[in-house]
Amino acid sequence: MSIRGIEMNYYAICRRKLWLFNRGLGLEQGNDRVTEGAVLHEQAYGRLDKEWNITEDAVVDAVEDEWIREVKISSRMEYADRLQMMYYLYLLKERGIEKKGLLSYPKEKKTTDGSSTLSWT
């Protein structure tokens, strides 16, 4: 069974949301916030290689030298975003690829190091 990065994100946000998503009952379809995120993803960081597949189910938003980057709308769920990034870095390390991770929030003009360890507080 393959785990997708979004599942790691949903696990941190709400386990019920993850349960619904895994059963094809994702409530995001047609959601304005999802559409906004897709547009932001396309417009942000145009010079970078976009959507790099680590596995069939794990796709990073952008790649830049030794960095992988996830582009998000808001930093409100930064813990969940960081968990998703740590999962991507783990998958890469399993394949012998050493990268660092960046979490980017273009609307807030904020970028954080997604490689640092998670804090459970």
- The band of 93, judged by pLDDT with boundaries at 50, 70 and 90, is very high
Residue located via tokens 């990073």? 60
Query: Is the CB of residue 53 less than 8 Å from the CB of residue 59?
Result: yes
What pTM does this model have? 0.78
In the numeric block, which tokens belong to residue 77?
A: 């769920």
- In this predicted structure, what is the pLDDT of residue 21? 85
Angle between helices 15-22 and 5-13 (to 10 degrees): 140
Q: How confident is the model at residue 38 (pLDDT cuts 50, 70, 90)?
A: low
What value does the mean pLDDT of the chain take?
A: 81
Q: What are the boundaries of each domain within the chain?
A: 5-113
In the predicted model, is pLDDT for residue 89 greater than 90? yes
pLDDT above 60: residue 121 = no
